[in-house]
Structure 1
Amino acid sequence: MLQIILGAISLGLIWAILTIGVYITFRILDIADMTVEGSIAMGAAIAATAIVNGMNPFAATVLAFLGGMAAGLITGFLHTKLKIPALLAGILTMIALYSINLHIMGKANVSILRMHTIYTPMENLGVSPTNSVMLFAFISVIAIVGILYWFFGTEVGCAIRATGNNPQMARAQGINTNNMITLGLIISNGLVALCGALIAQSQSFADVQMGIGSIVIGLASVIIGEVIFGKRNFLNCLISLVLGAITYRIIIALVLKMGMPANDLKLFTAITVAIALSLPVFKTYLRPIKKSIKGGDL
């Protein structure tokens, strides 16, 4: 059981990077960006293909990050310059990335089994594979949270947040909202592709279909983190996202351990997200009941 939980924590830390990327578009920019499902597979495809061709794993991971940023740039261009609705722009980019990922890998999946990955240096020091993934992912998440907390406190970061909160007011203050939306999409999809690269190296393969359902997983982690751990300030939000991703992975691991068929996993995820999104409605119904109980009416 302990090994299952540790594995869930290590995987949750990696998926926390995607969760942060989804949060940037879904909460900060108020955009449902479907590019995520293509950019995570793109990050995995670039990293795996580069490693197979002899590139240093760290350089391959950076290259995957840049590839994700390019995907976000395309979505931003379609939305801001060609005036295509954000949701449709993301879907178009996601569809295009499926073919692009096939061209990158040359086939449906690429194995990097027994090849040097970004986790190999820690494994060479005697750290177990699971702990190596967990430790590297933890360091990466801490660095990303720190950088984003600093960045969104800068003038440009505040402009992105203002664009998502009130675009009309942001434009009145002289902010180019189109540029801010594009920049937010670039950062978001860069993080998502980075997540894909780390997942591919932890699982020793990349697959063109690995992005299916990733947007739902990201949203589930965002909602769970906000509901359970709160969102008092921006730093608290970032930490809640990480804890939400870990919590989601632990829940999935425990549910599978209890015997739920793997085929029902996406159904369970969808139900979890629906329940989490409906919590404010449930709280509205429960509030009068609580007042009645306190008032002695029941």
Structure 2
Amino acid sequence: MILSLLGLMPGAFAQGLLWAVMAIGVYITYRILDIADLTAEGCFTLGAAVTCKLVTLGWDPFTSTIVSFLAGLLAGLVTGLLHTKLKIPALLSGILTMTALWSVNLRVMGQSNIPLLKQTTIISLLEDVGLTKNVAAIVAGLVLTVFVIFILWIFFNTELGFSLRATGDNKNMIRAQGVNTDNTLIFGIMLGNGLIAVSSSLVAQFNGFADISMGTGTIVIGLASVIIGEVVFGHRNLLHSLIAVALGSILYRIIIALVLWLGLSSNDLKLISSVLLAIALCFPAIRNIFTKNLKNSIKKGGSENA
């Protein structure tokens, strides 16, 4: 039994790293910009669809992955324009783009599913040098995650990066400094969705297919990874937060693997994801209540002894 659980860990670790960049993309919109962007649901499928379509047309996997990033930027641009220029609420803007992307993704793929049978992918290239599929995914996911965290850490310490972070913290204050908050919001939403698309590109190359429904539940998975990472690993500064989100993605996948190992059906994954997110969201409140009660008990005990 224990050996079977250990056998699930490489796959869970690989999936966690491949989805980590998606979680970072969600972190940018949810935590830094402080908006609820549901574009992720459609954008995740978009990145996979673009990559698989181009690979089947003979494009090399690296170029296909870059194009998927550009497609994600474009999806984020649409949401950003709807929100900032047309004054549609962020939540509704994301829903509109997500809904439109369902048709766009079908147009891109030409069918509901594109298999990658014998096409060359980033994962298969790593397998060709002697790595197993899970190890190849771990290497690809780790390289991408470290690269993204490093680039974002540098970017968010630039003037534009500080402006973007300040837009989420206090829009009125940064607007008073002469910063166009519409532009920073649009850029942030584009960046987040671009990262989500890149993540889905690698996930599709690992799974060997793109499917029209593969983005369902993406926002819940991303938020769960963000919250779990913050609760377990903390968020002292930006770099620490980015690393925590990536680790949260891995931990989320390990928890899912553990739950499946205990005998739950894979059909319950969406339910499990929602429950995990609910627990992670309410954990700080529960911890505060417990800490407060503990302090009151200690204080009461000290008064009685006196």
| Consecutive unaligned residues in structure 2, runs of 5 or more | none
Task: Determine the C-alpha separation between the residues in 2 that align with 1:157 and 1:209.
Answer: 34
Counterpart of 2:101?
Answer: 97
* 1:18-59 Cα deviation digits (max 9, x unpaired): 000000000000011000000000000000000001001111
Paired AA for residue 233 in structure 2: F
- State the Cα distance separating 1:285 from its structure 2 match: 1.8
Task: Determine the C-alpha separation between the residues in 2 that align with 1:267 and 1:204.
Answer: 25
Q: Which of the residues 161, 173, 176 maps onto 2:177?
A: 173
Q: Which of the residues 19, 31, 36 maps onto 1:27?
A: 31
Counterpart of 1:156?
Answer: 160
Q: Which of the residues 213, 218, 229 maps onto 1:214?
A: 218
Q: Which of the residues 132, 135, 138 maps onto 1:134?
A: 138
- State the Cα distance separating 1:139 from its structure 2 match: 0.6
Secondary structure of the residue aligned to 1:174 is: coil
Task: Determine the C-alpha separation between the residues in 1 that align with 2:270 and 2:110.
Answer: 28
- State the Cα distance separating 1:194 from its structure 2 match: 0.4
* 1:202-241 Cα deviation digits (max 9, x unpaired): 0000001000000000000000000000000111001100
Counterpart of 1:226?
Answer: 230
Q: Which of the residues 253, 257, 264 maps onto 1:260?
A: 264
Task: Determine the C-alpha separation between the residues in 1 that align with 2:209 and 2:88.
Answer: 34
Task: Determine the C-alpha separation between the residues in 1 that align with 2:269 and 2:235.
Answer: 28
What is the TM-score normalised by the length of structure 2?
0.95
Q: Which of the residues 88, 91, 96 maps onto 1:87?
A: 91
Task: Determine the C-alpha separation between the residues in 2 that align with 1:39 and 1:72.
Answer: 8
> Which portions of structure 1, spanning 4 or more consecutive aligned residues, are displaced by more than 6 angstroms?
none
| Consecutive unaligned residues in structure 1, runs of 5 or more | none
The answer to whether the 8 Å contact 2:123/2:136 transfers is yes
Secondary structure of the residue aligned to 1:295 is: helix
- State the Cα distance separating 1:296 from its structure 2 match: 5.7
What is the TM-score normalised by the length of structure 1?
0.98
Task: Determine the C-alpha separation between the residues in 1 that align with 2:19 and 2:195.
Answer: 10
Paired AA for residue 15 in structure 2: L
* 1:86-119 Cα deviation digits (max 9, x unpaired): 0000000000000000000000010002211012
RMSD of aligned alpha carbons = 1.1
Task: Determine the C-alpha separation between the residues in 1 that align with 2:14 and 2:272.
Answer: 21
Counterpart of 2:190?
Answer: 186
* 1:140-198 Cα deviation digits (max 9, x unpaired): 10000000000000000000000000000010011100000000011000000001110
User: Once structures 1 and 2 are overlaid, which stretch shifts more, 258-267 or 31-40?
Assistant: 258-267
The answer to whether the 8 Å contact 2:52/2:114 transfers is yes
Q: How many residues align?
A: 298
- State the identity %: 49
Q: Which of the residues 45, 48, 60 maps onto 1:41?
A: 45
Task: Determine the C-alpha separation between the residues in 2 that align with 1:74 and 1:63.
Answer: 17
Q: Which of the residues 45, 62, 73 maps onto 2:77?
A: 73
Alignment of 1:44-63 (within 5 A): 44-63=48-67
